[in-house]
């Protein structure tokens, strides 16, 4: 079974620009969660999508948005980029049917904002 | 507001000895707890989990202990091996949302 894939793996943008990151979950998984990892902060939950609906949301500003398509692929968008948005963005997929479903992580997208 | 805390940013242990990683949480609504391991340039990989109705779960060299009254969990790795050198994240689940600690970097010395 193919794992979780994220594209692109690396991205460099400048302040004020916007960016779209993509995540393809494991086949059959309907839940996709997004996390931001910065040094010393661990993984901060952004949002979770299940069957094209946002089911849960973290405490990030509205500049961070996402969506999920009918094939469960998900995109995350960050508008008006700030220097502090530089981070590793991870997505995780799960079946999503039960709370204790294991989440499988992709390798992440490293975003650098200059 | 950090609901899951790993107060030790790093841990160094000799090969063959026990590694003990600690994690504290504040939200009593968490009902499922997990440990993830992360190598550089890779996403976290699931290690072991425990439901809030249990106090211990064991899987090979890895054992997780949960003390609900103290809102504390720990991960024991016995014996520690060089391949265990990685960042370990504690996570807690509520409403399909995982809250992670900041991570503990484990270094296993030969």
Is it the case that residue A110 has pLDDT exceeding 90?
yes
**pLDDT the model gives residue A38:** 87
CB of A66 less than 8 A from some CB of B: no
Subunit contact A48:B101, Cβ cutoff 8 A: no
**pLDDT the model gives residue B1:** 63
Closest partner residue to B44 (CB to CB) among A50, A56, A105 is: A105
**pLDDT the model gives residue A2:** 74
pLDDT digits (tens, 9 = 90+) for A20-60: 999 999 999 999 999 999 877 778 999 999 999 999 899 99
Burial B6-38 (b: 16+ CB within 10 A, else e): beeeebebeeeeebebbbbbeeeebbbbbbbbb
Confidence of residue A1 (pLDDT cuts 50, 70, 90): low
Is it the case that residue A101 has pLDDT exceeding 80?
no
Is it the case that residue A102 has pLDDT exceeding 90?
no
pLDDT digits (tens, 9 = 90+) for A12-30: 999 999 999 999 999 999 9
pLDDT digits (tens, 9 = 90+) for A72-98: 999 999 999 999 999 999 999 998 777
pLDDT digits (tens, 9 = 90+) for B36-69: 999 988 899 999 999 999 999 999 999 999 999 9
Best residue in A2, A37, A51, A89 for a mutation probing chain B (most B CBs within 10 Å): A37
Is it the case that residue B14 has pLDDT exceeding 90?
yes
**pLDDT the model gives residue A82:** 97
Number of H-type helices and E-type strands within chain A:
0, 11
**pLDDT the model gives residue B98:** 86
Better pLDDT: A17 or A1: A17
Subunit contact B101:A55, Cβ cutoff 8 A: no
Distance CA B105, CA B12 (A): 8
Which chain B positions have a beta carbon within 8 Å of A42's beta carbon?
A: 4, 6, 89, 100-103
Helix, strand or coil for residue A83? helix
Which chain A positions have a beta carbon within 8 Å of B105's beta carbon?
A: none
H or E, element range at A38? strand A31-38
Which chain B positions have a beta carbon within 8 Å of A99's beta carbon?
A: 31-32, 93-96
């Amino acid at each position: 079974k193919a794992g979780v894939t994220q594209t692109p793996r690396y991205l460099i943008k400048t302040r004020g620009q916007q960016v779209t990151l993509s995540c393809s979950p494991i086949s059959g998984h309907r839940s996709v969660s997004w996390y931001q990892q910065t040094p010393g902060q661990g993984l901060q939950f952004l949002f979770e999508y299940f069957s094209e609906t946002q089911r849960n949301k973290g405490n990030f500003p509205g500049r961070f948005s996402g969506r999920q398509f009918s094939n469960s692929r998900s995109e995350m968008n960050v508008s008006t980029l700030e220097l502090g948005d530089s981070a590793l963005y991870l997505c995780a997929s799960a079946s999503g049917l039960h709370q204790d479903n294991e989440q499988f992580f992709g390798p992440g997208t490293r975003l650098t904002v200059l | 507001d950090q609901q899951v805390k790993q107060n030790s940013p790093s841990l160094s242990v000799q090969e063959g000895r026990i590694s003990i990683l600690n994690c504290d949480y504040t939200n009593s609504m968490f009902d499922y707890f997990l440990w993830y391991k992360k190598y550089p340039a890779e996403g976290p990989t699931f290690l072991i989990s425990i439901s809030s109705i249990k106090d211990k779960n064991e899987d090979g060299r890895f054992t997780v202990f949960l003390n609900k009254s103290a809102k504390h969990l720990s991960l024991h790795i016995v014996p520690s091996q060089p391949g265990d050198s990685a960042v370990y994240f504690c996570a807690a689940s509520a409403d399909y949302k995982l809250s992670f600690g900041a991570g503990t970097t484990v270094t296993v010395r030969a």
